[in-house]
Structure 1
């Protein structure tokens, strides 16, 4: 039973990654930067308002800024951590040796994925004490705090799975990284632009009175945008405004969760099924 839950690939990758002094140096500088930002924001806000205390509404603004910083961290660092997991093994000609072991394709892919995102998870967890400062001043509920981090993890897992998929399908690490960043930019930026475009076209085409017809495409584009999701979690009024614009009453987080869980599962299935196929072709 114990052997069935073991993953030598994961354990080996974790040891190599976390034994490196660069990992701990990266965590140290990240926490220093976060502390400088948080305490600098508190000091600047108190200086501008000329008060000796930090108000709950100001604490909410600080939490919102920290949440978007964490989201940017997930979006821009995850592709770099995962897009070379398999392709780098192929470039170093060590993948055939890995495939001749008793490890299944699922163990190899899951081990590569989890070990790659483990460092980013460490950064997020290490920053929790800094996040907890917002509870000292009020304005943030523990439930909203937990929701933000839950969906950050969902986003991290989905983008990491896409990176591993491209790393399996594409031989070159640089090409795999470009493809993963392309998907990330599409989800984070292009979907927002397409949402505005679809809503504008819908308004131009609607000449009647009353409420416009439901825009399911526009709602879907907004629902899969990570920035829109974080904003809706921080302020429920944004989700209500979005429902009024699209005339679709489905909450943003439902569509987001369904899309990114599906994306994660499909990406992992494609990576697992094509891991050994690519090796046969390369021969």
Structure 2
């Protein structure tokens, strides 16, 4: 089967998004905020410690703050960019015209998703010079940098795919956006709260004579929570404590990849299948 890599939907969405002054104004404010945070952190740290240099441990702390800021950016901006991709076309009554073109359902869905992903990736790449300041003070390896951005990309694709799915299934953009933000909050906040409860219950029932029993539910909750994963990537001690609490030796990043890649594939497959569900073939 011949694969057509030409995607007019993607090209059109990229032109509309990147020709808009709002996109570059948003990028400017983001970079200004990041610069103020980084230089403010360095200035306050030097004043508090009373020294005129930046220690590697403080550099690692700054890198951790930047990584969690990027994670928050992905979690809270991605639903807003993707949850209205298809439903807004339906509200403007342009979706039937789009569906009658020669573009396949996959080209439409992937074009809408990749245009949103491209904008968020632009925000991430534009912040690389700010990240480079961290390397000047040591304490961070290039592999730490690569791992953080790889898992950011995986999370971005998964949340974006969920937004595209809800935008396809739900007719109204506001409802689709609420549903997407609800899933995002469940994965990022509710799973963390449930993890604390499960671990506390396990410790309460533990008699202390032997090692605590394995907690499969606790390991699953830790594996699907982005904040827990990033904490383990930034500090190996956190990963060791999670393994010690759950008594399951499998690293949580493996479960994270399996879960979020599965979510991405399943969401895109359902979105492609449901995009033309109401269209009847003429006999």
* TM-score, length of structure 1 as denominator length: 0.96
2:276 pairs with 1:276: yes
Alpha-carbon separation, structure 1, partners of 2:129 and 2:208: 54
RMSD: 1.4
What is the Cα deviation at residue 206 of structure 1? Answer: 3.8
What is the Cα deviation at residue 278 of structure 1? Answer: 4.2
Alpha-carbon separation, structure 1, partners of 2:3 and 2:264: 26
Aligned to 2:73: 73
Alpha-carbon separation, structure 1, partners of 2:89 and 2:235: 44
Aligned to 2:200: 200
Going from structure 1 to structure 2, the CA distance change for 1:201 and 1:278 (only over 3 Å counts) comes to farther
What is the Cα deviation at residue 196 of structure 1? Answer: 1.2
Structure 1 segments unaligned to the other structure (5+ residues): none
Q: SS of 1:13's equivalent?
A: helix
Equivalent residue runs for 1:81-96 within 5 Å: 81-96=81-96
Aligned to 2:131: 131
Aligned to 2:30: 30
Maintained 8 Å contact 1:96/1:279: no
Going from structure 1 to structure 2, the CA distance change for 1:49 and 1:14 (only over 3 Å counts) comes to same
What is the Cα deviation at residue 205 of structure 1? Answer: 3.4
What is the Cα deviation at residue 51 of structure 1? Answer: 1.0
What is the Cα deviation at residue 48 of structure 1? Answer: 1.2
What whole-Å deviation, never above 9, does each CA across 1:179-215 have from its counterpart, x for those lacking one? 0000000000000111111122223334472011110
29-38 or 193-202: bigger deviation: 193-202
Alpha-carbon separation, structure 2, partners of 1:55 and 1:165: 46
* TM-score, length of structure 2 as denominator length: 0.96
Aligned to 2:239: 239
Maintained 8 Å contact 1:147/1:233: yes
Aligned to 2:267: 267
43-52 or 70-79: bigger deviation: 43-52
How many corresponding residue pairs? Answer: 280
What is the Cα deviation at residue 119 of structure 1? Answer: 1.2
Alpha-carbon separation, structure 2, partners of 1:6 and 1:252: 37
78-87 or 43-52: bigger deviation: 43-52
Q: SS of 1:133's equivalent?
A: helix
Aligned to 2:222: 222
Maintained 8 Å contact 1:67/1:148: yes
What is the Cα deviation at residue 2 of structure 1? Answer: 10
Alpha-carbon separation, structure 2, partners of 1:220 and 1:163: 23
Alpha-carbon separation, structure 1, partners of 2:135 and 2:107: 40
Q: SS of 1:5's equivalent?
A: coil
Alpha-carbon separation, structure 2, partners of 1:264 and 1:97: 27
165-174 or 117-126: bigger deviation: 117-126
What whole-Å deviation, never above 9, does each CA across 1:24-64 have from its counterpart, x for those lacking one? 11111111111111011111111111111111111111000
Moved over 6 A (4+): none
Structure 2 segments unaligned to the other structure (5+ residues): none
Alpha-carbon separation, structure 1, partners of 2:134 and 2:59: 6
Alpha-carbon separation, structure 1, partners of 2:200 and 2:61: 30
Alpha-carbon separation, structure 1, partners of 2:139 and 2:97: 54
Q: SS of 1:189's equivalent?
A: helix
